Amino acid sequence: MKKFFSLYARFVYPAAILIISLMVYFPFYGSPQSVFWDENYHVPSAQKHIDGVMYMEAHPPLGKMLIALGEVVFGGNEKIDKHKLIETDYITETPPEMSFKGFRWPSVMMMAISAVFFFGIINCITQKSWLAASFTSLVIFDNALVVHARAAQLDGIQIFFLLGAIYYFVHSATQFLYHQKKIKLRQYAILGIIIGLATAVKVTALILLLLFVMLFGIDQWASIKKWDWKKLIKRLLLAAPLGAATVALIFLTVFYVHIGMGKKIIQNQVYKASPEYLNQVRMGDTWSLTTFSLGMRDNWKYMSEYADGVPRLDLCKPDENGSHAIGWPLSKNTISYRWAKDTVDGKSVVRHQNLIGNPIVWFSILGGIILSVCLIVGRFIYGFQIKDEKLFSWICAFTGVYLCYMIAIMQIERVMYLYHYFIPLLFGAINLPLIFNYIYRDEVLANNKHTIINAAFFALLVIAVFAFFSPLTYGIGLTEDEFELRNWFTFWKLKGI
Amino acid sequence: MSMQIYLTKNSIFSALLILMSMLIIVRITPVTVAPVIKLVISKNRSSITNIHQQRDIESTIEITIDRLNLLHNGRFGHPKLGNIASYSDDFFVDVDHKIIVKKADTYRFLSGSDDGFYLMVDGKQVCEHTGDRPYAVQSCAIFLNEGEHQVRASYFQGFGNSGFTLEYARGEEKQKWFGDDSAAVKF
């Protein structure tokens, strides 16, 4: 038994995390048995992949392809007439007997695995499993992430590739930093593949291109310090095109498959496609390179025009769901996705599904970012001593990408929503255990019991608050009073019924 | 020296976590008030425009509160308990409560409502506003002998803003909420 544990100890934490994640994400994920928020778009798009119908959409197609794959493998809707789904791009009423389990399965499963990637990231950097396990609660038990993970939305799928890319980057970097394993060009290419996949779900993943910069910085740190520019340029001329090319190759390959699968045009829905491209589709020649070049051009044009046509944020609109990025870290402007009203024992009970973050998670992450910024300012402005250079560099890296994303997103004029904060939220969630590790460095190294208890207590607090807000996540009925108990801050703009 | 032993980074973080937990517990603990007056709140199927109209009740709930101060942010609601009606439009509220008058005198009842109400003491009508209106208070007086008296009040909310309040005062004394004991009245 002892031998078994010593042999498999490193798998115990990831296995436990995966099981807990599955227990959080999977229960009743087929409910509600109706579409909400962007499922109205993604479910019809996924069905078009299944039925080989040509379509164009605002987001790249990989997410919808995987949603379609889930429906094919786990859908169980073989006897349901789903023709309505391919006749529209935005469905409001689906066939009443249709199960959503297949459409939602990929997001649920991939998000559960993402929690293991998150654990891996923290474990690689801190080399402390208990610390990584405690802080993985930030991802598993965040109400906003759980709502999106349990739906046929793109975020759970994108987060899988996003955390996968960060894990691969951190693993490569730590192997170099702690075990002197050289970073090879192959690793730039693999990182490019994963970033390409994340970008092929949603283009917001392009922020991950910064990982190449960081990987290059770690790889060539010795040359940078010596300012050996010849060596730097030689490496840069190989690594940069290789990384960029793999991202582009994967992105285009996904589109190639998407264009190839679109063999039918239904009810003359042509999405402003050019006559040349439509002609190729009608001829059934969808897998040729000519069709790909035409289809890619038209898809790109459609995505650009769609993005330009999205309205701007209008806070004067009474039902505006969008919000300014500046308020996202505090979960400002939550979104009521759907609600259903019942009367139980003469009392009105409403089943809500709201996009609201776990306040302990979101506020702690914001606190972590503020502490990190103070630390960085202290180091570079006031010249404070740094007690752990490597850890400090990791903090700089993840605080840096958090700030870069937020600055970039604030430049976008179209309306944006609270869930566009998920990516920086994850960067902040990685940063939080690092800043904790920095503050409690000696205690963490010594496996101090009090520090371990504190980390466990923090995780328990995250779980308790998640449980308290879970009726808004899982659509469990609440009376108005019970709803009001959860309405902690007016800036959340939680809307009761 | 002993202070330094306890004031470590770990203990500060523990204290912070405990403080946070306590704040959350305080925030999520349901508020309770003294159970003095029973309200019967009835949701009407059709819209209500008059306090005396025929009722067509869909559902009824009973709730006990401390005082008849049910105007909160321009809506029918208790300052601590929030919207105890669970409904926003078309409902009746009925109060039937026995009070003990310790000193015979003329008593003023200050009834505020948005929309209508009526107030009866020992079966005798004291005050009413039958239809819709924005929140307004009207003062009505009645002489009460020492002893028990049955106070009955009914209120309705039609559409839009809402609220219902009832205060009492002996003679020219300062008014008190209906539900709060005084030297002259016991609930």
Q: Is A288 helix (H, G, I), strand (E, B) or coil?
A: coil
- The distance of B97 to chain A (nearest Cα, Å) reads 23
Q: Hey, is the C-beta of A457 within 8 angstroms of any chain B C-beta?
A: yes
DSSP of A462-484: HHHHHHHHHHHHHT-EE-HHHHH
Distance of CA A181 to the CA centre of its chain: 29
Tell me if A417 sits within 8 A of A385, measured CB to CB: no
Residue type (1 letter), B185 = V
Under DSSP, the state recorded for A266 is -
Distances (CA, A) of A344 to B23, B42, B60, B61, B66: 31, 14, 11, 11, 25
Q: Are strands B105-114 and B163-170 parallel, antiparallel or unpaired?
A: antiparallel
Candidates A480, A486, A488; nearest CB to B86: A480
Q: Looking at beta carbons, which residues of chain B come within 8 Å of A461?
A: 17, 20-21, 24
* Reported ipTM: 0.84
Share of residues in chain B with pLDDT > 70 (%): 97
Tell me if A398 sits within 8 A of A204, measured CB to CB: no
For residues A280 and A168, give the distance between their C-alpha atoms in angstroms, rounded to a whole number: 40
Candidates B14, B21, B82; nearest CB to A454: B14
Which helix (H) or strand (E) segment holds residue A295: the answer is helix A289-309
Q: Hey, is the C-beta of A320 within 8 angstroms of any chain B C-beta?
A: no
Q: Is A447 helix (H, G, I), strand (E, B) or coil?
A: coil
State residue A479's pLDDT score.
85
Candidates A347, A450, A484; nearest CB to B82: A484
Q: Is A159 helix (H, G, I), strand (E, B) or coil?
A: helix
Q: Looking at beta carbons, which residues of chain A come within 8 Å of B84?
A: 481
Number of Cβ pairs < 8 A linking chain A and chain B? 53
Cα-based torsion angle of the residue sequence A219, A387, A428, A116 in order, rounded to the nearest 10 degrees = 70
Helix locations, A180-288, DSSP H: 185-199, 209-219, 221-226, 229-261, 275-283
Contact (CB<8Å) A450/B20:
no
Residue whose C-alpha is closest to residue B81's, from B145, B132, B18, B34: B34
For residues A487 and A354, give the distance between their C-alpha atoms in angstroms, rounded to a whole number: 12
pLDDT mean across residues, chain A: 93
Contact (CB<8Å) B17/A461:
yes
Token look-up 């807000």 returns A469
State residue A341's pLDDT score.
84
pTM of the model: 0.85
Share of residues in chain A with pLDDT > 90 (%): 77
Decide if pLDDT at B6 tops 80: no
CA-based nearest residue in chain A for residue B59: A346
Tell me if B56 sits within 8 A of B46, measured CB to CB: yes
CA-based nearest residue in chain B for residue A468: B28
Q: Is B143 helix (H, G, I), strand (E, B) or coil?
A: strand
Contact (CB<8Å) A481/B17:
no
Q: pLDDT tens, B155-164?
A: 999 999 999 9
State residue B3's pLDDT score.
61
Q: pLDDT tens, A131-184?
A: 999 999 999 999 999 999 999 999 999 999 999 999 999 999 999 999 999 999
The angle subtended at Cα A452 by Cα A450 and Cα A457, nearest 5°, is 90
Residue A6: pLDDT band (50, 70, 90) is low
Longest dimension (CA), chain A: 79
Chain B residue set in contact with A, beta carbons under 8 Å: 8-11, 13-14, 17, 20-21, 24, 27-28, 30, 59-61, 81-84, 86-87
Average pLDDT rounded to a whole number, residues A379-395:
93
A6 C-beta neighbours (distance < 10 Å), count = 9
Look up residue A461 and give its two tokens. Answer: 């607090």
Q: Are strands B91-101 and B37-44 parallel, antiparallel or unpaired?
A: antiparallel
Average pLDDT rounded to a whole number, residues B11-29:
93
Residue whose C-alpha is closest to residue A473's, from A333, A336, A347: A336
For residues A130 and A5, give the distance between their C-alpha atoms in angstroms, rounded to a whole number: 16
Contact (CB<8Å) B28/A485:
yes
Candidates B9, B30, B61; nearest CB to A347: B61
